[in-house]
Chain A
Amino acid sequence: QQQVKQSPQSLIVQKGGISIINCAYENTAFDYFPWYQQFPGKGPALLIAIRPDVSEKKEGRFTISFNKSAKQFSLHIMDSQPGDSATYFCAASRANDMRFGAGTRLTVKP
């Protein structure tokens, strides 16, 4: 059973639009929630991360919103660009264990 559920599986957004990817987790012991970006043929790369004592974190065009009571967190990509087209993975971590969502393939159309 997947401990981190991610949606949608795929997302198509127009250039300049907002991309939103959602994740939900089961285990309340998780204490670190990163998002990774992966381009074809490459390894995942850390994009942004948040801890559960913060409700929002913003880095440039990327924002994580975190709802501890609902056990949900989401990634918002503002002003989406074609170069943002990639697969995005959310994850939840506790100590030495990190669980990933199934991934969202984002396509930003010019």
Chain B
Amino acid sequence: NAGVTQTPKFQVLKTGQSMTLQCAQDMNHEYMSWYRQDPGMGLRLIHYSVGAGITDQGEVPNGYNVSRSTTEDFPLRLLSAAPSQTSVYFCASSLAGGRKAFFGQGTRLTVV
């Protein structure tokens, strides 16, 4: 059972570079989401998707882009990395909304 798989696990970027964080799930969940986790802040919702072709903004969407072409995949794109985007990023999936979400192992991103 793979569940939610995130790649890469670690990444170092230079300011201004772009990159894509990958997320895939094999549970046939319609709902997928991206969070960032920062010390003392808990997890904050960046973007979410309720199905292929449908995405929406969460609490902290600026600087991030998403698309959902398949049920399984939900990549997160950083268009021009900034040091403020240094964080641990988690992808999650669930059958519906925020109910019973399954999280991936996370991607630790450092922007220098």
Contacts and interface: CB of A to CB of B under 8 A. Distances in A.
B58 A97 contact: yes
Contacts of A100: 35, 42-44
B contact face: mostly helix, strand, loop, or mixed: strand
Interface in A45-92: 45-46, 49, 89, 91
Contacts of A96: 31, 48, 50, 56, 97-98
Given A49-B100, A96-B31, A43 B4 contact: yes
A43 B106 contact: yes
Max chain B Cβ within 10 angstroms of own Cβ: one of A2, A89, A97 = A97
A101 B42 contact: yes
Interface of B: 4, 31, 33, 35, 40-45, 48, 50, 56, 58-59, 90, 92, 97-106
